[in-house]
């Protein structure tokens, strides 16, 4: 029974576009009524009708420690009691910046902003100023927020295919390019992993052609390991963008990189960028509490092994059922693609059977398992997910994905 969600959605569609504040939440690609969430704890979320679910959305990635983590909640409560926003510098932002710099290879300076969209928008502007060039290269299927340059094709935005170094070089040869921006692990076309040598190849090409390399680590930052994709793949980008992943659940973002580049940002340089809520003390407190917790390697051991258990279990289930499907996974991020045997770029990922995913999504939801309401999103495992959660999820998936399911 989801009567309260249905009633809330009816009210919401009258006053908000599509009834939501971010499109994927509207369940358009899977059909049905979006669940309105009331509260969450650990690995569980509870909807407005009191139904309980094991949550694999994890607020789209940032809740590495799970919902309502005690250390983060305490830090947020303490900070909020001291004032919600000052529009002035605080110790909290210095501490979080120091922590990010100590975790992220090659990042010598950071600027806090409020979202990944803002971080990317600002990093692109900075790359253009640094190189004196206008064009950017982005990859088909990679998502970098909703600013104009990264949503369009054409003009100053050149599109390459993920994992295709030759295609990138072609573009770099023809045009004066300011930067190449990439999700080091693509996680907005489902999950698509970089092939061996792809990220280091991009670094090399950028060096040869005088462009900057930007890693959008909104998803991978601090989740793959402390140093994010840069450390995981041993490739240092020139600039890195972060979003929700540094906020422990609060709205936040940041971009950073080498000092000589970052010093072009106002007020030390001419690239203007500002924001009243940038470095907000409550968001900084949440982010700092999360990053401090991530000093403990056991957290990564746990989320990665739970990720492996879930992904291997799902692979085995689809294999035994005779369905064509594949699971892409890295650490605690995964995606089950229906209808295809592999996905290594946007074109192959787009061939996935979205109808079959929708049936899987609703079947699992009915059983109390909340996966992302789109084939082209990811599963995120948190430190709060237990072996029991994963076993329960796999048992339910095994029951659902049988020969009749196809």
Distance CA 169, CA 160 (A): 9
Contact characters 261-280, ligand HOZ, x per CB under 6 A: --------------------
Of 198 and 380, CB closest to ligand HOZ: 380
Of 124 and 168, CB closest to ligand HOZ: 124
User: Interface with ligand HOZ includes 377 (CB under 6 A)?
Assistant: yes
Question: Locate tokens 């957290």: which residue?
Answer: 299
Distance CA 290, CA 100 (A): 11
DSSP string, 250-300: SS-EEEEE-HHHHTTBTTTSSB----TTTT-HHHHHHHHHHHHHTT-HHHH
CB of 48 to ligand HOZ, least distance (A): 17
CB of 165 to ligand HOZ, least distance (A): 25
CB of 60 to ligand HOZ, least distance (A): 5
The residue nearest ligand HOZ at its CB is: 22
Distance CA 112, CA 47 (A): 32
Whether the bond between 54 and the residue before it is cis, its omega within 30 degrees of 0, is no
CB of 101 to ligand HOZ, least distance (A): 26
Q: Which of residues 110-139 bind ligand HOZ (CB under 6 A)?
A: none
Of 53 and 130, CB closest to ligand HOZ: 53
- Residues tagged active-site: 143, 216, 244
DSSP string, 208-240: HHTPEEEEE-TTTTTTSSTTHHHHHHT---SEE
Contact characters 13-42, ligand HOZ, x per CB under 6 A: ---------x-xx-----------------
Q: Are strands 135-139 and 157-160 parallel, antiparallel or unpaired?
A: parallel
Rule CB under 6 A: which residues touch ligand HOZ? 22, 24-25, 60, 188, 377
């Amino acid at each position: 029974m989801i009567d309260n969600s249905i009633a809330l959605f009816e009210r919401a569609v009258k006053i908000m576009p599509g009834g939501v504040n971010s499109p994927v939440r509207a369940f358009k690609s899977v059909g049905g009524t979006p669940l309105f969430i009331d509260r969450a704890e650990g690995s569980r979320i509870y909807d407005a009708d009191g139904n309980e679910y094991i949550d694999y959305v994890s607020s789209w990635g940032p809740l590495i420690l799970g919902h309502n983590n005690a250390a983060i909640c305490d830090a947020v409560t303490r900070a909020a009691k001291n004032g919600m926003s000052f529009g002035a510098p605080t110790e909290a932002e210095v501490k979080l910046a120091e922590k990010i710099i100590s975790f992220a290879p090659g990042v010598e300076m950071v600027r806090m902003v409020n979202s990944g969209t803002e971080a990317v928008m600002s990093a692109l502007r900075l790359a253009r100023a640094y190189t004196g060039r206008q064009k950017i290269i982005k990859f088909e299927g990679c998502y970098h927020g909703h600013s104009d340059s990264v949503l369009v094709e054409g003009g100053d935005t050149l599109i390459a295919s993920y994992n295709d170094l030759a295609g990138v070089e072609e573009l770099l040869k023809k045009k004066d390019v300011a930067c190449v921006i990439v999700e080091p692990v693509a996680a907005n076309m489902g999950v698509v992993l970089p092939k061996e040598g792809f990220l280091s190849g991009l670094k090399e090409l950028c060096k040869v052609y005088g462009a900057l390399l930007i890693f959008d680590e909104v998803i991978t930052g601090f989740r793959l390991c402390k140093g994010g994709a840069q450390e995981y793949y041993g490739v240092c980008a020139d600039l890195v963008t972060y979003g929700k992943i540094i906020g422990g659940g609060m709205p936040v973002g940041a971009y950073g990189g080498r000092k000589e580049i970052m010093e072009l940002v106002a007020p030390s340089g001419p690239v203007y960028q500002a924001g009243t809520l940038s470095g907000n003390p409550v968001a900084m407190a949440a982010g700092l509490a999360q990053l401090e917790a991530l000093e403990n390697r056991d957290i990564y051991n746990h989320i990665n092994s739970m990720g492996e258990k879930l992904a291997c279990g799902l692979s085995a289930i689809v294999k035994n059922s005779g369905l064509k499907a594949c699971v892409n996974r890295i650490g605690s991020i995964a995606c089950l693609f229906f209808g295809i045997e592999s996905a290594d770029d946007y074109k192959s990922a787009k061939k996935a059977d979205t109808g079959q995913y929708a049936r899987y999504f609703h079947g699992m939801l009915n059983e109390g398992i909340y996966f992302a309401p789109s084939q082209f999103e990811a599963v995120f495992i948190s430190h709060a997910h237990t072996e029991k959660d994963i076993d329960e999820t796999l048992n339910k998936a095994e029951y659902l994905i049988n020969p009749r399911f196809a």
